[in-house]
Chain A
């Protein structure tokens, strides 16, 4: 028995293909729901900011690097570039790849993927970034910009949840129902819902 397990363990990567024929694995494709390519929620615009053409339609295009008057929150901390490396000066409601190809904000991953090729590859496979949903069916992707603010993509540090109780502090306690400690995550989730 144990020997059998050993062999399975050692060789299961090699055997995987043959096992699949024998057992017929559940793959992403045949698990019912059809696999939509990169199903992502809409991009996370700040309220009232989109479409950009609402303001920009009549404005002149200014390519000099400068402190922005309106978008004061944007201090570019990404690469040594400027707005029009990504934004399309001719149509502010779209983005523009280096090749000149115009894309919508809903497929911005192609823009990021121009520089971050290996990460883009991992993202497509579901290995970079978060995926939710079904491991064997429909998966929900996130756009790069859902997690990384493109103007300063580095993650901001966050507050960790509390450490476990030390063994010396685990004691018998008489608790009324309302005294039972609450899960600290509940508070965060309530905050996110609001």
Chain B
């Protein structure tokens, strides 16, 4: 393969002679010995699949995780396991005619959901398109790195993309370990303690919604959100996949997702698809909605619409 400048290549540079031996020794130790000497390491190793644990086992796991997070982040965490509300199927609406591409949602999501600041992880991607260019099925013209002085820009429009919470999610279908599944309220969740990091789901997702922890996730201590859900915004581990959960920790308690509340133009709508009086049902019934890549039959519960 064409070689990149090897001096700038992290993998190459790391293996100098000293680092070679040190790395080998440390690595062997870390493989042979648990990082924590207590039983907690093996409890973590043998932790069962979330859906196969009874409530007693879940309680114990939560206790252990809260202790581990406390040790690691020096913050007291409250890990919830709130169950889906009966009679609720979550749906999301996004008004493309309003979005100004300011990326407030991207960073409100980062703040609420404890995404790694370095290596950087964003769950929302805002795509910019030139007006009149083809865009609906061919996203090749999209630019997600735009950074003008002011938005919105003349001649462009913006389409934020995040997990579409498909009713027929290809990521769930392909996961070899059932580490990701669709909950009764329609949210596709991941058990970060069960995911093996094979990234098959990332290959399967048509919306580029899944993110992988390529390195150790890092967050400033003062920016950590300690109110978390086991299936949502609790801090993740290196080597596992994560994604938007419609802010499961907020929405299962009746609150709006963080991206809905931050949006300065009110382009983001959220509610219960089974409630005919909900905002999302109003959008579906009164506006012309469409969903991304409808040709793939994934049936997203994320509706784009044009209010004007």
Direct chain A–B contact by Cβ atoms under 8 Å: yes
A66 within 8 A of B: no
Verify A160–B251 contact, CB threshold 8 A. no
User: Of B104, B220, B256, which is within 8 A of A133 by CB?
Assistant: B256
Overall SS of chain A's interface? loop
Q: How far is the CB of B126 from chain A (nearest CB, A)?
A: 9
User: Of A28, A160, A185, which is within 8 A of B277 by CB?
Assistant: A28
CA distance in complex: A129, B98 (Å): 9
CA distance in complex: A24, B272 (Å): 12
CB closest chain-B residue, reference A126: B279
Verify B269–A126 contact, CB threshold 8 A. yes
Verify A26–B266 contact, CB threshold 8 A. no
Given A170-B120, A175-B118, also A160-B272 (CB < 8 A) = no
Verify A180–B118 contact, CB threshold 8 A. yes
Verify A132–B269 contact, CB threshold 8 A. no
CB closest chain-A residue, reference B281: A16
CB closest chain-B residue, reference A158: B102
B42 within 8 A of A: no
CA distance in complex: A170, B120 (Å): 7
Q: How far is the CB of B71 from chain A (nearest CB, A)?
A: 15
Q: How far is the CB of B45 from chain A (nearest CB, A)?
A: 25
B51 within 8 A of A: no
Q: Which residues B148-177 have CB closer than 8 A to chain A?
A: 148-153, 167-168, 173
B21 within 8 A of A: no
Verify B125–A164 contact, CB threshold 8 A. yes
Contacts of A58 in B (CB 8 A): none
Verify B88–A181 contact, CB threshold 8 A. no
User: Of B95, B102, B111, B168, which is within 8 A of A183 by CB?
Assistant: B111
Given A20-B274, A26-B85, A130-B263, also A161-B106 (CB < 8 A) = yes
Contacts of A133 in B (CB 8 A): 255-256
Interface string of A158-185 (1 = CB under 8 A from B): 1111111110001111010110111111
CA distance in complex: A117, B80 (Å): 43
Verify A177–B221 contact, CB threshold 8 A. yes
Chain B CB within 10 A, most for which of A122, A162, A165, A182: A122
CB closest chain-B residue, reference A142: B266
CB closest chain-A residue, reference B257: A135
A27 within 8 A of B: yes
Q: Which residues B96-131 have CB closer than 8 A to chain A?
A: 100-104, 106-108, 110-111, 117-120, 122, 125
A31 within 8 A of B: yes
Q: Which residues A35-78 have CB closer than 8 A to chain B?
A: none
User: Of B261, B266, B276, which is within 8 A of A129 by CB?
Assistant: B266
Q: How far is the CB of B113 from chain A (nearest CB, A)?
A: 11
- A–B Cβ pairs within 8 angstroms, 21 of them: A2-B168, A6-B168, A9-B299, A12-B273, A20-B87, A24-B87, A25-B275, A28-B277, A126-B282, A127-B286, A134-B256, A136-B254, A157-B150, A159-B102, A159-B151, A160-B150, A163-B144, A170-B119, A183-B111, A185-B107, A186-B223
> Ordered nearest first, which 8 A-B pairs have the shortest CB separation?
A130-B266, A157-B150, A185-B107, A25-B87, A9-B299, A23-B87, A161-B103, A9-B167
Extra contacts, 11 of them, besides A127-B282, A158-B264 (Cβ < 8 A), are A9-B167, A25-B275, A127-B269, A135-B256, A135-B270, A136-B272, A160-B151, A163-B146, A185-B111, A185-B262, A188-B104
Residues of chain A whose beta carbon lies under 8 Å from any beta carbon of chain B? 2, 5-6, 8-10, 12-13, 16-17, 19-20, 23-29, 31, 122, 125-137, 142, 147, 155, 157-166, 170-173, 175, 177-178, 180-186, 188
